[in-house]
Amino acid sequence: MPLTLADCCALDARDALAPLRHEFKLPDGVIYLDGNSLGAQPKAALMRAQQVICQEWGEGLIRSWNTAGWFALPQKLGDQLAHLIGAKPGEVVVTDSTSVNLFKLLAAALRKQQAIAPHKRVIVSERRNFPTDLYMAQGLMDQLQAHGAPAYELRLMDAPEELAHALQDDVAVLMLTHVNYQTGYMIDMAEATALAHQHGALSLWDLAHSAGAVPVDLNAAQADYAVGCTYKYLNGGPGSPAFLWVHARHQDSFGQPLSGWWSHAQPFDMEPGYLPHQGISRYLCGTQPIIALSMVACGLDIFDKTSMVALREKSLALTTLFMELVQQECAGFALTLITPTDPAKRGSQVSYIHPHGFAVVQALIARGVIPDYREPGIMRFGFTPLYTRFEEVWHATAILKDILQSGSWDQPKFHQRDVVT
Ligand SMILES: *Cc1c(COP(=O)(O)O)cnc(C)c1O
């Protein structure tokens, strides 16, 4: 029996998470399948922004660092986020960007290894990791070498299956993104971390496509370090500060290199000498963008109304439905699925390669369906169980089919590339 629109509507009718969609401002006539890149706007954000700008900044002025709790916001938001990634209060701060946090934690991990196992000179990652992760590692390696340290090597796997082969005793840090941004492939964090530890390597996880998308348990996995975005599945707003997590066993052992005053034990003593803060606060650097940071709570508040177990169940139902519908409706249109069909191995997105993926995505956007495009040839459809409806999966597939069948994607305007794809 082929799937029908009525089947999809029936799934919406019995979806216990359906009311959460009303927490978001979503424009009419748009099917938003890009919450993996920029989360939708929580309705509460407008009121909160008004409060921060009019009262806290406008009226409170400098007093708000104390009276509005601005100074403690990175730790407070970290505590609110912690349960989504299997962290405890006091283990997470929301601060800086994912790229910068990755630099800080990779440097801390390498310093730790330098002290206990200086012969370990390899960082293992994936060739298809999000490029900024690889760029930051290369920048750090160059920096260390410029200061006279022996060279590090970045060992890149072509596929996560190569992990056992790549993890030799020369590896200092295993630096992986938990859910791959291109394919949506999810690595078994506990298994990979255990393997890394067997070889004396530390694990550093990028949770950009995991936090708020799939259940994560950093402590159960015995992971060492983690970073992630708040503007993707956590709906913190464009460029909202990222988070970082350090396992309690490592927090006080080594500093991170961006030792700004917010990481000092007593920042307002204004001492010329640096003395690191104990605990997770030593991973801060300097003054935070308070207006952007304040928006992060609006996204996290919505997660407090549900659980990652419920979200995961709906996420898998959405991605499974989409794969089935594309197979049913769009067979024969040169779409190649690159996302694992095994639910245990995928995040909350589905990706297809199409020879003209860029133009097809532009044609979809022109019809009100918003996925995104990533080189090479990848059409990425993100499913956010907080607000995506099953009915939308049906309509998105029908519009995709129409575009492929009619060839309407093949117009000059759909081949034109803007700065952001
Ligand atoms: C989105 C993403 C980033 C983004 O880093 P920024 O510093 O916020 O630009 C980093 N890593 C991965 C894996 C991502 O998916």
Q: How far is the CA of 289 from the centre of ligand 1 (A)?
A: 18
- 382 pLDDT band, cuts 50/70/90, is very high
Q: Angle at CA 242, nearest 5°, toward 236 and 247? A: 130
Active site residue 130: yes
Coil, helix or strand at residue 35: coil
| Residue with CA nearest ligand 1 atom 10 | 98
Q: Which of 32, 373, 380, 381 is catalytic?
A: 380
Q: What is the pLDDT of residue 149?
A: 87
Q: Which of 112, 120, 232, 346 is catalytic?
A: 232
CA 351 to each of CA 34, 101, 181, 197, 323: distance values in angstroms, whole numbers, following the listed order: 12, 27, 9, 32, 9
Does pLDDT of 421 surpass 90?
Answer: no
| Residue with CA nearest ligand 1 atom 1 | 208
Q: Which of 32, 130, 185, 322 is catalytic?
A: 130
pLDDT, tens digit, for every residue of 179-223?
Answer: 999 999 999 999 999 999 999 999 999 999 999 999 999 999 999
pLDDT, tens digit, for every residue of 120-133?
Answer: 999 999 999 999 99
d(CA 174, CA 151): 17
Active site residue 333: no
Q: Angle at CA 322, nearest 5°, toward 84 and 347? A: 25
| Residue with CA nearest ligand 1 atom 13 | 130
Closest ligand 1 atom, CA of 181? 15
Contact residues of ligand 1, CB 6 A cut-off: 97-99, 130, 132-133, 177, 181, 206, 208-209, 229, 242
Active site residue 346: no
Q: What is the pLDDT of residue 169?
A: 97
Query: Is 131 marked as a binding-site residue?
Result: yes
Active site residue 111: no
DSSP string, 322-385: HHHHHHHHSTTS--EE-S-SSGGGB-SEEEEE-TTHHHHHHHHHHTTEE-EEETTTEEEEE--T
Active site residue 206: yes
- Give this prediction's pTM: 0.98
DSSP string, 107-153: HHHHHHHHHH-TT--EEEEETTS-HHHHHHHHHHHHHHHHTTPPPPE
Does pLDDT of 365 surpass 80?
Answer: yes
Residue range 92-109: mean pLDDT, rounded = 98
